[in-house]
Structure 1
Amino acid sequence: MKLKQALAAVAALACMSGAHAQSANTFYVTTGWFHFSPQDGSDPLKIDDVAGRPVNQAFPGTGTGINSSDTFGLSLGYFITDHLATEVELGVPPKFELDGEGSLSAFGKLGSARLWSPALLFKYYFNKPEAQFHPYLGIGVTHVSFTDAKITNSNFIDSPALGGPTSVSTDSSWAPVFNVGFNYNFTKHWFAGFSVSYIPVSVIATLNTQKQTIIGVVSQKAEAKIHLNPLVTYLKVGYMF
């Protein structure tokens, strides 16, 4: 009898240690690597006003693009039910380079900026809580903004489009996030995963120039609307509490 009881206890312990629980009221944290791949395009560069007078002059054939970037990521999540979780995704703001396209491609790199895009997601996980493999679908929202935006190409600064020292500011906006991915549980606590998110978002960069003219220095305001629409991949490892 004692041997049977001991064997039963060992079996129960083995089941417990081998469980891959992902159930309601479970907190988790992940860390890993984000890769941002903008599916970008832009409207032509447009001069809004010169010396305070409306101009609204577009430069056909001009364009700008943004290269891809990588950064360290972190997320914090909570399972509301066995299948529904809410998660906050954060990352070190990645640096993007702004490249000239169309007639501006001769300038190459025009400038740079850092992207902030914290996201709140709701994810639905498939399969039973004790399964090892958990695919999921998610939807959420992010707030997109840029800091440290600047024009660094002196040839572009001196070109007819600008013609003097230029500062850059960008707007910020909310955007939806569409997410798909999976987790694979190695133990009750440790797991790894991979996800892909799509964020349909555009930003407007405003260029304020002190333009050198034959009558002296005048202020000029121009803008460029950039369609980012990035695909964001996240390779991660996580721990459930």
Structure 2
Amino acid sequence: MKLKQAVTGIAALACMTTAAHAQSAGSFYVTTGWFHLAPQSNSDPLTVTSIGGSPTNLTQPNTGAKLDSADTIGFTAGYFVTDHIATEFVIGVPPSFDLEGSGNLSQFGKLGQAKQWSPTLLFKYYFNAPTATFRPYLGVGVSRVWFTDAEITNSVFQANVLHGPTSVSTDSSWAPVFNAGFTYAFNQHWFAGVSISYLPLSTTAKLNSAAATPVGTLNVQSQTKIRLNPIVSYVNIGYRF
């Protein structure tokens, strides 16, 4: 009986030790889940910057654009540097955003679309003990953001506002990330989590149009600064090693 109690006690101690190290310094974890990106967007008026190679500064008043929300699958990988501090790399399958007209451009509805890439590095501080089931955290980090497959898809908008077929390019930028969330441990390995992030982010969209005129085709260049400022929520399931 004493031997059985001793073995049981040792086994329990081993389990406690394993659990204690599950969220402590030196442990790795991975997660996957669903990102919802909700841009708090607006833009500057559309401005014509060049006609036929000649610089201009023609602003079209009460014109603008905004981005709709998007969803995608995400992945993270993290490492606990200490019992309370972790670094985390975040990436998602690039979501496709629809660009909607606002102001005088709202009559055209969807103007175009683009895919966003935003790999992120976070530094997170976890509260509560490493063995706690519930661990809230605060984080801060940086994201590198760029867009691909940007295009104007609205032919009526191209013909009436941009005066011809138009290509789009956007600049890339670094953006700070502010993050908060929590994890809930089911055991020493599996856990679930929820987080919310905010990125103060803007990009300049440059439009290059081929405008048909009586004297031939003229190259017309326009641009607008779009402020995205997305709020990003992430619901996930994770595994600690």
1:20 Cα deviation after fit? 7.2
What does the per-residue CA deviation read over 1:132-173, in whole Å, with 9 as the maximum and x for residues that have no partner? 1110000000011100000010100101x3101110000000
Instruction: Write the mapping of 1:94-133 to structure 2, written as runs, cut at 5 A.
Output: 94-133=95-134
1:18 Cα deviation after fit? 5.7
Task: Report if the CA contact (8 A) 2:122-2:142 is conserved.
Answer: yes
2:234 is matched with 234
Task: Report if the CA contact (8 A) 2:20-2:131 is conserved.
Answer: yes
2:205 is matched with 205
> What amino acid does structure 1 have at the position aligned with 2:223?
E
Name the CA distance, whole Å, in 1 between partners of 2:125 and 2:66.
34
Task: Report if the CA contact (8 A) 2:19-2:131 is conserved.
Answer: no
Task: Report if the CA contact (8 A) 1:17-1:187 is conserved.
Answer: no
Name the CA distance, whole Å, in 2 between partners of 1:7 and 1:238.
29
> What amino acid does structure 1 have at the position aligned with 2:197?
S
> What amino acid does structure 1 have at the position aligned with 2:141?
G
1:55 Cα deviation after fit? 1.1
Name the CA distance, whole Å, in 2 between partners of 1:4 and 1:163.
85
SS for the counterpart of 1:156 is: helix
What runs of 5+ residues in structure 1 fail to find an aligned partner?
none
1:223 is matched with 223
1:171 is matched with 171
> What amino acid does structure 2 have at the position aligned with 1:56?
N
2:83 is matched with 82
Task: Report if the CA contact (8 A) 1:71-1:93 is conserved.
Answer: yes
Task: Report if the CA contact (8 A) 2:21-2:27 is conserved.
Answer: no
Name the CA distance, whole Å, in 2 between partners of 1:88 and 1:15.
29
1:41 is matched with 42
Q: Percent identity?
A: 55
Using the size of structure 2 for normalisation, the TM-score is 0.96
1:233 Cα deviation after fit? 0.4
1:151 is matched with 152
What does the per-residue CA deviation read over 1:164-208, in whole Å, with 9 as the maximum and x for residues that have no partner? 111000000001000000001111011000000000010000000
Q: How many residues align?
A: 240
1:11 Cα deviation after fit? 3.2
What runs of 5+ residues in structure 2 fail to find an aligned partner?
none
1:54 is matched with 55
> What amino acid does structure 2 have at the position aligned with 1:194?
V
Name the CA distance, whole Å, in 2 between partners of 1:191 and 1:203.
36
2:186 is matched with 186
Identify the range of structure 1 (212-221 vs 95-104) with the bigger mean alpha-carbon deviation: 212-221
Name the CA distance, whole Å, in 2 between partners of 1:239 and 1:205.
40
Task: Report if the CA contact (8 A) 1:116-1:144 is conserved.
Answer: yes
Name the CA distance, whole Å, in 2 between partners of 1:139 and 1:9.
41
Name the CA distance, whole Å, in 1 between partners of 2:176 and 2:39.
15
Name the CA distance, whole Å, in 2 between partners of 1:44 and 1:14.
62
Change beyond 3 A, Cα 1:21–1:62:
same
Using the size of structure 1 for normalisation, the TM-score is 0.96
Name the CA distance, whole Å, in 2 between partners of 1:224 and 1:187.
50
Identify the range of structure 1 (210-219 vs 58-67) with the bigger mean alpha-carbon deviation: 210-219
Task: Report if the CA contact (8 A) 2:175-2:199 is conserved.
Answer: yes
Name the CA distance, whole Å, in 1 between partners of 2:97 and 2:234.
18
1:26 is matched with 27
1:66 is matched with 67
